[in-house]
Structure 1
Amino acid sequence: MDAVVTRSEPAQARLSQPGVWDAEADDTLVCRAVRDETHDVKTFVFSSAEPRRFAHEPGQFLTFAFEIGGDTVNRCYTISSAPTVPDTVAITVKRVLGGPVSNWLHDTVRPGSVVRAMGPMGDFSCFRHPAEKYLLLSGGSGVTPMMAMARTFYDLGEARDVAFIHSARTPADIVFRDELELMARRDELFRFSAVCETDTASERWPGVLGRLSRPALKLLVPDLREREVFVCGPAPYMAAVKQMLSELGFDMARHHEESFDFEALGAEDAEAAIVAEAELDGAATVRTYKVAFARTKREIECPEDMTVLAAARKAGVRLPASCSKGLCGTCKSKLVSGTVEMHHGGGIRQREIDAGLALLCCSKPTSDLVVDR
């Protein structure tokens, strides 16, 4: 009798080995799908090259190392998928005019593309602030961590009262609109509202028009004082929301915001504070070292009690950075020569440190330096 040959479905094979993905062991991710969300927003779905599952908290992010034009560019992106779908992980990216990474992702990454990433990281998560009622407020690309949180509660069938308010330019710019409206129809405890600045030629917005305001907040969420509030979006949006909540008498101990903008090179305010503190604490006994940037041919001075990034900002040298906390890895740079004292928050691996890489946002010089920037 001939042997019976059973063919294995590739999807089944990927689900049959539920080991947890560990970026320290293998940081390779393979793009499995690219999905259009709006006219300028795409979702990129990744899996591990080997069958693995992802363990993350809704709201956390990954730091990617993209190879673009011969250079390695580090960028952070919040995970937009929920941990309830553990076999893949997704990021949702808006095409930014002139943005080298977002445009490269939109134009280049396809199913089968391979990228490298590390993480997950971050403490901006509803899991860290359990409550019976939540208010999720997002503006623009800040929708991604909120979507991960909303999807998680929805998938788990948790009896949680979730109010989700998203601010967009137009109805055409509401990311995940169809899915959010479906969730709201099917789950009586989930409410979704969008605030649009203007209509489009094809759709007159029936909801709140303009920008989020105190009257709109009171109208859409009359019991907001009873909720745990999460906010993510552009810095001006988050500042405006914070002021509104405070003026409405909200307990700001229950207010949580994503503290840095993944798309920005900035965090200048935080760095300015570091610089000011260093200047106030400066004394004649503080040693100063020279820091040379090999590619740009710039040279600065950096006191031993100031981070290289802070000193560069003070001298007008622009370097990529986001969190300024040693978390995201955006400022990761190769030290051609010299040594630093570095206290990071998880944004760099030991093998990278051994290879001479450092996070400039949390590295203070202990000698003269040459940095490959």
Structure 2
Amino acid sequence: MFFEWQGTQPVTLRCIDKYHETTDTVSVKLADLSESLLFEFKAGQFISLGIEIDGKMEFRAYSLSSLSGEDCLQLTIKRVDGGKVSNYIIDKLLIGDTVQALPPAGEFNCIDHPPKMHGGKQKALLISAGCGITPVFAMAKQWLSNEQGVDIEFLHIARSPQETIYFDLLETYHSVYPDFNLKLLLKNCGETLYPEGRLNTEWLQELVPDFHDRTVYLCGPSQFMLDVHHYLNELGFEMANFYQESFTPTDTKGANVSNESAQIFVPDFAKTIDANKGEALADALESAGLPLIVACRSGICGSCKCKVSKGSVSSTSHETLTPEEIEQGYVLACSSTIESDLEVQIG
């Protein structure tokens, strides 16, 4: 039997395992409370995870690193400077604790965007750095488990073998699966034979000479992804065959906020909020203590969907909204800024 998600409502899952991948990274496994139900998702997607911290439910988006069709979901989470939820999970979440979760989401996946054929075979290049390895490794596992015959070049950038997430597993895959070709580029290779260096156009061509023949899937820190995008453009790569993870939280606080005031009426809670034009709608609703889930903060997970029934906002993303929902006035609060007095419905 498969696990049934509850639409936009969070479900409760239990942590059934937790272990360190590196000194600053843990993997946690989440399962149904009572039954061994199977979880379905598209490899590369994420879930929005809710943890209660200091009496408040905090949601954040994390990529899934497990295989679809298993009886648990695995997340691999790295410590972040000032990261309230990530660091809490690493330091305090215990096996047996419960968490809240929203359904898998995300356009960055290998099901909707399969690798193209070249020479009679599908060929993929997975490029990652740091915790960005999580969704692309899930893609590799998906292809290998289905015996799809995808030729995989797996290029990962890390500081050292000890700081490479899934290091032992990557080496095992490289030795066991003929279609999985591991290319590690390290700052300090230690006692290994992996090359040392910083990824650039020269390294990309040397490590994956046939990258032009492959579909590229990229995930990592923001600047790293910008750099790789630049390298590929510079080398004349066909960018129609390029996909990258896009949830990088946008800091909207204080950005383009004017001194001109606006009011937001939320009839479901009989509440009127004082705000400023140019302010992110999510920030205004959160500051008022309203129960809005804001997980990815980059307009892709859909957790903060609400309906603007009066007034206007300026939106930079409609990622998870249907044309009908947009026509009805639904917006993503994290990527919408206030332009006038508003009436908003939450949920």
In the superposition, the TM-score normalised over structure 2's length comes to: 0.78
Partner of 2:194: 207
Once the two structures are aligned, what percentage of the paired residues are identical? 30
2:108 is aligned with 1:124: yes
CA separation in 2, counterparts of 1:65 and 1:340? 31
Residue 25 of structure 2 contacts residue 79 of structure 2 at CA under 8 Å; is this kept in 1?
Answer: yes
Q: Which amino acid is 2:164 matched to?
A: I
Shift of 1:98: 2.8
Distance 2:284 2:54 in 1: 28
Residues 221-370 of structure 1: pairs in structure 2 closer than 5 A: 221-261=208-248, 264=249, 266=250, 289-290=262-263, 300-302=275-277, 308=281, 322-325=296-299, 327-329=301-303, 345-346=319-320, 359-362=333-336, 367=341
- 1: CA distance, partners of 2:205 / 2:310: 54
Count, aligned residues: 309
TM-align CA RMSD: 3.6
Give, in whole Å, the separation in 2 of the partners of 1:73 and 1:339: 28
CA gap of 1:321–1:26, structure 2 versus 1, over 3 A, is: closer
Shift of 1:323: 4.4
Which whole-Å deviations, capped at 9, do the CAs of 1:75-109 have from their partners, x for residues lacking one? 000001111x4211110001123321111101221
What does residue 268 of structure 2 align with? none
Q: Which runs of 5+ in 1 are unaligned?
A: 1-17, 280-286, 293-297, 313-319, 348-357
Aligned CA distance change for structure 1 residues 332 and 65 (closer, same or farther; 3 Å): farther
Give 2:188's aligned residue. 198
Per-residue CA shift, 1:229-277, capped at 9, x if unaligned?
Answer: 000001110011011111111101111111122xx4x266xx97xx69x
Find the counterpart in structure 2 of residue 64 from structure 1: 49
Question: Is contact 1:76-1:328 (8 Å) kept?
Answer: no
Name 2:175's counterpart in structure 1.
185
| Residue identity matched to 2:53 | I
Pairwise CA distance, 1:218: 1.0
Seen in structure 2, the aligned counterparts of structure 1 residues 41 and 326 have a Cα distance that, compared at 3 Å, is: closer
1:73 aligns with 2:58: yes
**CA distance 1:150–1:161, change in 2 (3 Å):** same
Q: 1:177 to 1:49 in 2, by over 3 A?
A: same
CA contact (8 A) 1:36 1:42 kept: yes
The answer as to whether partners of 2:297 and 2:334 remain within 8 angstroms in 1 is: no
Task: Look up the SS of the partner of 1:120 in the other structure.
Answer: coil
Q: 1:113 to 1:341 in 2, by over 3 A?
A: farther
Match of 1:159 in 2: 149
Deviations 1:179-216 (A, max 9, x none): 111111111111011111234xxx23422212112111
Contact residue 208 and residue 216 of structure 1 kept, 8 A: no
Q: Per the alignment, in what secondary structure is the counterpart of residue 107 of structure 1?
A: helix
What's the TM-score once normalised by structure 1's chain length?
0.73
Distance 2:276 2:80 in 1: 34
Q: Secondary structure at the match of 2:216?
A: strand
Instruction: Give the stretch that moved more between structures: 24-33 or 34-43.
Output: 24-33
1:364 Cα deviation after fit: 5.0
Specify whether residues 310 and 150 from structure 1 end up closer, same or farther in structure 2 by C-alpha distance, changes over 3 A only: same
Checking the alignment, whether the CA contact within 8 Å between 1:229 and 1:255 is kept in structure 2 is yes
1:23/1:195 Cα in 2 relative to 1: closer, same or farther (>3 Å)? farther
Residue aligning to 1:30: 14
Matches within 5 A, 1:74-93: 74-83=59-68, 85-93=69-77
Which amino acid is 1:222 matched to?
Answer: P
Please say which structure displays the higher CA radius of gyration: 1
Flag structure 2 segments of 5+ consecutive residues without an equivalent: 116-121, 266-272, 286-293, 322-331
> For the Cα contact (< 8 Å) 1:154–1:183, is it kept in 2?
no
- Distance in 2, Cα, partners of 1:239 & 1:267: 18
